[in-house]
Homo-oligomer: A and B are copies of this chain.
């Protein structure tokens, strides 16, 4: 190193045996650098504990090396819910090795708060792009982000075939299909579905698959698709309502927290799970294995979805080759909360 000062880009270049411009290209994620060279440069930088200075960063065509997420807090629900923590785990697996960070903004439900947050991100140039979750019916975010010129990737299926880049699992119907078939095989005929809010795109998708599978097997769904609100309290009320009428022998839930709340509500009413009622959740959060009985649930590859979304966005920014991450299809994980119909 030149003297005893901080290491410089030249020190890194000479240790790696490459030109300063090659180091700069690696730092700025430019193309035309072989994997071997990139690895040598990164190893040299690590060895010397060199990081690009703020000036070098500023020279990177205003790249902030941050991706943004704006989360909306629901009534009674934090902005960052348990599935979110798994998604972030996946996102960070792609960001961290590349020195990218994830900039979070959690906004309340007030009219315009979300739009204002995106506008600020764009106008202040704080992020290179944003990741979106929770695809909505009539979603206005996609058009807004195009107006703002902010690259964006959605985790999920866009409403109305919007052209926003998006990632989803292969065979997205598989999990719900397996869940209904599992119940039918166990002799269940009165199957209820406590689905998510109608404002979410996936609610309609999953409802359709639920009815389709019943139809294919010659059953008409009982009048038992109950609109939920994604809150555990709502699920407990829904279950009490369902159990007050002609009883279903099985209930599917829109997510695991709703399923656990519903299962507890049933047991509180003296209904044994799974002997008198089978219960299936959705997502396979860590929670599902903690409870007793352990929850049968549709596993979603949330970590894979987060990784895939981050990668598609990084590829759009020219940071990585567009090598897709495989997102596993949803699949039923059979545990203890389902059994033969009585």
Contact = CB atoms under 8 A, between A and B. Distances in A.
Interface stretch (A30-38, A104-112, A134-142, A175-183): A104-112
B120 A106 contact: no
Interface in A30-68: 49, 51-54, 57, 62, 65-66, 68
A124 to B, nearest CB: 5
A129 interface: no
Interface string A274-294: 000000000000110111101
A104 B88 contact: yes
A89 B78 contact: yes
A84 interface: yes
Contact of A104 (B102, B257, B286): B102
B104 A92 contact: yes
Contacts of A82: 82, 85
Contacts of A53: 123-124
Nearest to A103: B101
A99 interface: yes
A240 B294 CA distance: 17
Interface in A254-268: 257, 260-261, 263-264, 267-268
A57 B106 contact: no
Interface string A73-97: 1000011111011101100100110
A257 B232 contact: no
Contacts of A125: 54, 57
Number of copies: 2
A144 to B, nearest CB: 13
Given A232-B289, A257-B290, A292-B268, A124 B52 contact: yes
A107 B103 contact: no
Interface residues of A, number: 56
A189 interface: no
Contacts of A105: 92, 95-96, 101-102
A200 interface: no
B101 A68 contact: yes
A309 to B, nearest CB: 15
A88 B80 contact: yes
A99 B108 CA distance: 14
Contacts of A174: none
A204 interface: no
Contact of A264 (B88, B99, B291): B291
A287 to B, nearest CB: 6
Given A80-B89, A85-B84, A126 B106 contact: no
Contact of A89 (B65, B73, B89, B101): B73
29 contacts: A49-B119, A51-B119, A51-B120, A51-B123, A54-B125, A57-B125, A66-B126, A68-B101, A78-B85, A78-B89, A79-B89, A81-B85, A82-B85, A84-B85, A88-B106, A92-B104, A92-B106, A96-B105, A96-B108, A101-B104, A101-B105, A101-B126, A102-B105, A103-B103, A103-B104, A232-B290, A264-B291, A264-B292, A264-B294
